Structure 1
Amino acid sequence: MPTSNDMQKVLDIQDKNLIFKDDCVTYGVLKGRKVKYIDCTLSYTPAECEKCHAPNNDYSIYKNGTQSSRVTFPMSGIRPTYLRIRKQRFMCKAFGSSFTAKTPIVKEHCFISTFIKAKILTKSSEACSVKDIAKEANVSEATVQRTINQESKQYRPHYHTLPSHLSFDEFKYASGRMAFEYIDVQNGHILDILPTKHSRSVSNHFISHYSLEQREKVKTITVDMNASYVSFIPRLFPKAEIIIDRFHIVQLVNRSMNKTRVKIMNQFNTSNGEDQKKYRRLKHFWKKILKKETDLSYTKYQRYKLFGQRLESAIVSEMLAYDSELKATYDVYQQIIQAVGMNDYNQLSCILDRSDVSNLSSYMKTSLRTLRKHLPFIKNTFKYPYNNGKIEGINNKIKVLNRVAYGYRNFANYKNRIIIHFSLKASQREHAQKEVYSMVA
């Protein structure tokens, strides 16, 4: 038969005041489900009265019956598990009232164990829906969300100060609405999330929560090529340099190049057999046209579909020869990604200042105008090492949370889930790093 000590080890209970007897495990039915009950008794000798704090001298506090409570516990085996605790009641002679014994595994006036709440928070750091967490923890969805909301309070921003380097971005949530977020670009910590990305709302947020003195300490702000950011950042952060994320520079010209390829490709979608061959080649080998020219193979022959035995570079050259507009656009595309890759602002500036753009596609012309408009900020891209990599990674994880939950109607609940998810992830990562360092030491 198991001893009290054995059962405490099995259930990971540290409270020595909980006493388990032999045959303490029974089975029953609760709300139409088969469940497991574990019976125990909570008793000890109190040092003082919990209400009047009078010391327990000469039996001034004596035992006065018990009070039973059913506490939801993490599932043991395959059935929902409950602790049925017989809590000792005490009577204080000095105060003339009674109080009940307490245990750290469950809070006063609560019937959900702290083990369950810990499990909810642990699962919240993973990409799980609230419904799945509730099912695994054997509680309601409202309890899961309430636990998340309560725990997120200690991670909410206090608006004491701003870091020197910020990053702005937005993400989509329920019904196509866009939320705004800003993070510390150096460590990736989320500073706050707003339910809208409108310039007026964002401006009011920073003005109401941060003084001008705090905002003047911000040195750089990394953004994408969103025109609204550029319009209000100089007013809110007078001393901050605006940095255009280099990924969005490459993405802009990459999309223009791909749209040009699709446009030329569709021109060959005719009944002519030779045109159909060109159409299929441009459609099948689209990745090679978008590939960096320096990454193409110039020495290794290989058999390719629709081409036969060729060099990779020769395939690209032959497809570019189909149309002069495609070739001219490709050359500008390669020059821009080369300049960005080499961190050469002067080369990029020369490319954008070129006057002969008549042979380029309309898509690339539009992209060049956009880059010229943001050229003063792109200069800072080559000057500073910061980018939007961390915030883009955060947004990808946020989208996963939104997808597994099939959307959030309540933005406050969604924000709390995001805060808990990333805060606990960071805590777990820091804890793991400390363990590694201790092992090495």
Structure 2
Amino acid sequence: MMTSDTNFIEFALGIKDSNLIFRGYFYKFIRLIKYRVYEFTLIYPDNVCPECHQRQLVKFGFSEVNTKFTADDASHPVILRIHKQRVRCKNCQHTQLAQSPIVQKYCHIANKVRNKVIMSLQDDRTLDCIANDNNISPSTVNRYLDQSRAIAPLIKQELPINMALDEFRGVNRQLHFICIDNDGNHKIQAILPDRYKRTIENYFLSFPLQERARVKTISMDLNSYYQEIARRLFPNAQIIIDRFHVVAMLTRAFNQYRAQVMKRFEKTSRNYRL
């Protein structure tokens, strides 16, 4: 493959590593899914042993690694098949494998995929949807959510004028507290590690009273201690109960009353069937 073709492929994939040498590409079916596979050779960049610092490294074969990469079409996911060069020091017998900045050591998912997932977590999308778009598992998306602090810092300088409070089931099926800006953009204000009352209070008490007094409305479900926290910590805020929960409560009450009435009739009667 000519150098111009190598540069073109690296430009199309957004790869910036001079030690990666493009070898070719092909299609491969893996579990009935058609993958685009780009094949590279990753050469070891130096001749100095990282252990004894002697210039006595010799080539010691290659190790083939498949790395998941970003794709513009989710129906044809991309894999980088990288043949990493292995070297051995003739002085201390230490072996070393070539590494690339496009993927972390011991990881088979490119950094671009991780960054794309973190950006997608800021949108109003499900974890399964994000996982399918990036050809990874929902548990991997959950792990990125748990590791990243860039999505929702625990402390911000100011609170939104209109807030919404809720909880969601996150890592290890644990319930987490979430607070978002309710002014149409639905940006995440905070994600707390649990939904305990003390944790929520400590977070909001980190803001001065003058800042908490700016909050005008707080939307929530029928959780009783959410209402108690809102009344005590936000003196000027109006509490708004989400109409979904009101309708759901009325529906459950109606169904309970309907079942009580139905049981008054014989099971074989026309009124019972109606």
TM-score under structure 2 normalisation?
0.64
**1:184-229 per-position Cα deviation (integer Å, ceiling 9, x unaligned):** xxxx9835647547xxx248853xx899xx78x6445225599734
The residue number in structure 2 matching 1:71 is 67
Does structure 2 retain, via aligned residues, the 8 Å contact 1:88–1:100? yes
Does structure 2 retain, via aligned residues, the 8 Å contact 1:47–1:55? no
Query: AA paired with 1:13?
Result: I
Counterpart of 2:7 (choices 5, 21, 24) is: 5
What secondary structure is seen at the aligned counterpart in 1 of 2:148? helix
The residue number in structure 1 matching 2:42 is 42
**1:127-185 per-position Cα deviation (integer Å, ceiling 9, x unaligned):** 22111111111111111111222123785437xxx96889795524469x9957599xx
Does structure 1 retain, via aligned residues, the 8 Å contact 2:104–2:111? yes
Q: How does 1:368-379 map to 2 (within 5 A)?
A: none
Does structure 2 retain, via aligned residues, the 8 Å contact 1:166–1:220? no
Find the structure with the greater CA-based Rg: 1
**1:23-42 per-position Cα deviation (integer Å, ceiling 9, x unaligned):** x1112221222222111100
Query: AA paired with 1:71?
Result: T
Shift of 1:44: 3.3
Sequence identity (%): 20
Higher helix share: 1
What secondary structure is seen at the aligned counterpart in 2 of 1:91? strand
Confirm whether residue 87 of structure 1 aligns to residue 89 of structure 2. Answer: no
The residue number in structure 2 matching 1:139 is 136
Does structure 2 retain, via aligned residues, the 8 Å contact 1:167–1:221? no
Mapped to 2, the partners of 1:5 and 1:155 lie a distance apart of: 37
CA RMSD of aligned residues (A): 4.1
Does structure 2 retain, via aligned residues, the 8 Å contact 1:180–1:194? no
Counterpart of 1:129 (choices 118, 126, 147) is: 126
Higher strand share: 2
Query: AA paired with 1:92?
Result: C
Mapped to 2, the partners of 1:43 and 1:63 lie a distance apart of: 10
The residue number in structure 2 matching 1:20 is 22
Mapped to 2, the partners of 1:181 and 1:230 lie a distance apart of: 12
Shift of 1:79: 1.5
Shift of 1:125: 2.1
Moved more, 120-129 or 138-147: 120-129
The residue number in structure 2 matching 1:103 is 100
Does structure 1 retain, via aligned residues, the 8 Å contact 2:44–2:87? no
Any stretches of 5+ residues in structure 2 without a counterpart? 170-174, 182-186, 219-225, 245-274
Does structure 2 retain, via aligned residues, the 8 Å contact 1:46–1:56? no
What secondary structure is seen at the aligned counterpart in 2 of 1:139? coil
TM-score under structure 1 normalisation?
0.42
Question: Whose RCO is larger (CA < 8 A, sep 6+)?
Answer: 1
Query: AA paired with 2:86?
Result: R
Q: How does 1:325-344 map to 2 (within 5 A)?
A: none
The residue number in structure 1 matching 2:264 is none
Query: AA paired with 2:67?
Result: V
